Every structure is written in C-alpha cells, then in structure tokens.
Structure 1
Amino acid sequence: MKIIHCHPKYQHLKSKIESIIKGFESKGVAVTIGQRNVIKSFEVDRLTLNIKSFKKPNAFNSFIYKWIRRSKAKRSFEYASRLIDCGISTPFPIAYKEETSTLGLKKSYYVSEHIDYDFEFRALIHNPKFPEREEILKQFAEFTFKLHENNINFLDHSPGNTLVVKTKQGYKFYLIDLNRMRFESMTFEKRMHNFRRLWLSKTMIKVIAKKYSELYNTSYQETHDLMLKQSMAFQHKINRKKLRRSGRKMQFKS
C-alpha cells in the first residue's frame, strides 16, 4: 500500500510528487547522501523541493512504524506544521509518503520546501571570528527561548540542524531534521539540557547564557553554570572513547 499526504496548499502537486518519488533513485540533485538517509532536490512548477528518503527500517521497526508509532516522515510533516503554527521557522512541509505491506513500513519520504540559507549554526563553532558572531548568538538564544516558551523540546538541537538566513531585520533560524521532538513543559533544567548537543565553546556559552538569563528572568551565573555543566558533560561523554584510545587530554574549547 502506498499513501501520500499533501498539505492542502500543495494538493495540486500530488501527482507530480508521486511521479518524482517513483524516480527518486535515478533523478534529482543530491543534497545529502548519508548512511541512513538521502536528501535530493527537485524542481516542480518553478518550486524547489527537498525530498528526504528515510532508510528502510529493520523488521522490528518496520512493524513498530506501521502499527504502533508514526513513521519518521509523518512525524517530520506533523512537527513542521506544529512549529509553523507556533511561529517557529522550518522549511514548509509539503507532503509525506509511506509505502507499507501487511508486515509493516517499507519506505517513507518527507517533502519540504527548499531554503536558500546562508550558513549552518555549526559555522559559528568552527570560526570564532565569524562576522557578527556575538549578535547571531544573542538572536539564537532568543530563538531557542521561543522554542522553550512554546513547550518544544527539540531533541536533535545540534549544530547541523539549524539553518541561518541573514535578513535586513537580523537573522532568521530554520530547524531541520525534525522527527525527534517532545512537546512538554520546559523546566529550567530541561531548557539548559537542551543546549548540550550544540557543542558550544565557553565563549559562546557566556554570550548565550547572558541573553537567555535576561529573557527567562533568572541569574546569569545560574544560567551559565548549568549550561556549561550540561555542555561539558555531553562533550566529555562523546569524547571518552577517543580519550581512552589516544591517551591524550582533550580540553573544552574557549
């Protein structure tokens, strides 16, 4: 069985999207070719679409995604719609497709509008002298605060999952890779925990913590200390195996 669901705004493209997905393997321009997922772009009626093909799940997950949990494609579509309703920017959700059998999910695809972005958030990590870096970090703190105020816990809040567009009014942030989210009350501890995957340096934490503390009406020191603690714990956890193998000391970036 093949099911395709289109946003009401794009119902007129349904048949064309179905045709594109049929030829996904041999057509389109590669955006990301990963071990798990593949993203390609396609031109349709002067509109550029990004189509994400999720890796075929194993037998267990195939059953789970059909009968118990929503597929990653469906979650991506629904979460994007919910973000937009909250005023959070993300590439517009156009459609998703699921291919299933009686045993479970076989393949799934998520279709979204292409964003011409200027850089990823990760550029600020790799380049401490990035133009207007401090101002971008302040605006990013405001963006993340807005997420938290809307009770959105973006579990994959990592450097490659925020696209940045420079506008006349400032910087606009777009979330991508949306299939892992929780919509829940965000305590102060959860908010600081949500920064841990961003690989923030000490300097970046100082800037973000100062702005966030102003917005959340809490002390800078408390905000800074917990954000730093969460970030260091995550980075040390990821680096632990590398440390053991190399026998070298790795320092937290300043």
Structure 2
Amino acid sequence: MIIHLHFQYQQLNKELQSIIEDFETSGEAVTIGQRNVIKQFEVKGEAINVKSFKKPNVFNSFVYKYIRKSKAKRSFEYANKLIACNILTPFPIAYIENTNIFGLTTSYYISKHVTYDFDFRDLIHQPQFPNRKEILQQFTAFTFKLHENNINFLDHSPGNTLIVKKSENKYDFYLIDLNRMRFETMDFNKRMHNFRRLWLSKTMVKVMSETYSKLYNTSYEETYSLMLKHSRGFRKKINSKKLRRSGRKMKFKSE
C-alpha cells in the first residue's frame, strides 16, 4: 500500500492505512455504485470521504501502473489544480494505490467531507426550486471561471456539482468526480459544448446563455443557439442509445 498524502495531512498516515485495510466492513456508505464505492469516516474529529475505484481489468491494471496515472492520482492532482485556481472542490487529503508486478490492483481517493444543501439535479427536476434563476446565473459564472482557467471538466454533469447556500442570494459550487479533465484553451465552441451533459431545458438554456454571453462578451443569440445545439445533440445521442438497448431487449424476449 502506497499512501500519497497532502502536506497538511501527513499526520494521518496510520489512520488512513487502517481505514483502507477495514474499508469493506467499516464506514458509512455514501454511494454504492456498480463501478465505485464512496464511504464516510471520521478521523480525529474530521469527516472524510473515501472513494474506492472499481478494480481495473488486466489491460487497464497494466496501463494505470506503467503508462497512465490512476483515477485516484488524477483526482488528487486535479483537485489541487482546482484549488490553486480558487475553484471549490472537497479538499484533497490523499490517494492510495495498491499494485503488484502486473499493475494496479486497487486505488482510493480521500477528501474532506462537504455538507451540501442540494445538487444541480434539483434545479432540473424542480422548475419552481426557490431562487432557481439566481442559482443558474451563479452556476454559469462558476462554469465561466472554469473555462477562463482553461479547465475542460469532461464530466460536467448534474450529479457532479454540489451546491452550498451561503446566504439568501449567495451560493458556493463544489466540483466532485474529478478524474476526467483536460487543461486546454477553451474556445467558444468548446465552452458551449461543455454544457451539454447538464440536461438543460430551454428555459435553463435561456437563463444561462444570457449570463454567459455577458461574461464572454458575445451575443445572446449566438450563445443560446450553440448551447442549445450541443445540449439537444447530447440528449439525442443518449436517447438513441436507450432506444437501441431497449430494442435489443425486446428482440431477445421475443426469441
């Protein structure tokens, strides 16, 4: 087990090693997914989240040890890059990798627990969500800040932004699930393309494109048109996949 600690948390080495050794049988489940598991623990009075990544197949196991950084390492490094740009994310404490001669076996990313009020999905499913327009405007400014810092967050989807209400009209946004990012110059098309996974309604696109056009100094019409185009294109792609899957299921049932 190799533990890579943030310099502010060097004193937690033994505690984190113990948590990982007992991970399967201890901790409070936050997310139990098909690929990854997130559990919450308390260490020296502080709540932390430990994300256990799915064990890679033989090929990826080799890749993540010898060729490419593991998801845990990328999450840790990207979190530090975000913080350096004054972009909020749960504070990175450590990442842990277990390997053998063939490659990576298991890996973990550890961060401070953030108590949040809601996430972006609530804004999609609840059109009458309190202060919805103001939140969308501030979220758009948050995304603009990402783009201005040349950050292309490839998993910019509804479940990956936690929202904390700071006051009546002020909200903080925390990015999570960080292992897929590109650090590159963001032209206008890339910026609008980055909104596609958010499952925006036309009303949401109107609010967000109006805000973004002012920040980026481009026309509302151009911003709205391109944001809507990418959003609809993504929806169509996902819906087509669902239809193909359901078609296969119906075919199998009929045979």
Q: Residue type of the partner of 1:132?
A: N
Q: For residues 26-55 of structure 1, what are the alpha-carbon distances to aligned partners after superposition, in whole Å with 9 as ceiling and x for unaligned?
A: 000000000000000000111001000000
For 1:1-254, list aligned pairs within 5 A. Answer: 2-168=1-167, 170-243=170-243, 245=246
Q: Residue type of the partner of 1:35?
A: Q
Distance 2:109 2:227 in 1: 33
Report how far residue 243 of structure 1 moved.
4.5
C-alpha RMSD over aligned residues: 1.0
Distance 1:230 1:186 in 2: 15
Q: For residues 107-134 of structure 1, what are the alpha-carbon distances to aligned partners after superposition, in whole Å with 9 as ceiling and x for unaligned?
A: 0000000000000111000000000000
Q: Residue type of the partner of 2:233?
A: A
Q: Residue type of the partner of 1:206?
A: K
Q: For residues 129-177 of structure 1, what are the alpha-carbon distances to aligned partners after superposition, in whole Å with 9 as ceiling and x for unaligned?
A: 0000000000000000000000000000000000000002600000000
Q: Secondary structure at the match of 1:111?
A: strand
Distance 1:181 1:241 in 2: 24
Distance 2:121 2:222 in 1: 25
Distance 1:70 1:239 in 2: 32
Report how far residue 14 of structure 1 moved.
1.2
Q: For residues 76-115 of structure 1, what are the alpha-carbon distances to aligned partners after superposition, in whole Å with 9 as ceiling and x for unaligned?
A: 0000000000000000000000000010000000000000
Q: Residue type of the partner of 1:230?
A: H
The TM-score with structure 2 as length reference comes to 0.95
Distance 1:117 1:35 in 2: 24
Q: Secondary structure at the match of 1:185?
A: coil
Report how far residue 242 of structure 1 moved.
3.7
Structure 2 residues not aligned, in runs of 5+: 248-255
Distance 1:164 1:153 in 2: 20
Identity of aligned residues (%): 69
Distance 1:215 1:16, change over 3 A: same
Distance 2:216 2:90 in 1: 28
Report how far residue 241 of structure 1 moved.
3.8
Report how far residue 240 of structure 1 moved.
1.3
Q: Secondary structure at the match of 1:76?
A: helix
Q: For residues 173-227 of structure 1, what are the alpha-carbon distances to aligned partners after superposition, in whole Å with 9 as ceiling and x for unaligned?
A: 0000000000000000000000000000000000000000000000000000000
Q: Residue type of the partner of 1:65?
A: Y
Distance 2:109 2:241 in 1: 35
Distance 1:167 1:124 in 2: 17
Structure 1 residues not aligned, in runs of 5+: 247-254
The TM-score with structure 1 as length reference comes to 0.95
Q: Residue type of the partner of 2:184?
A: E
Q: Residue type of the partner of 2:95?
A: Y
- Number of paired residues? 245
Distance 1:166 1:212 in 2: 22
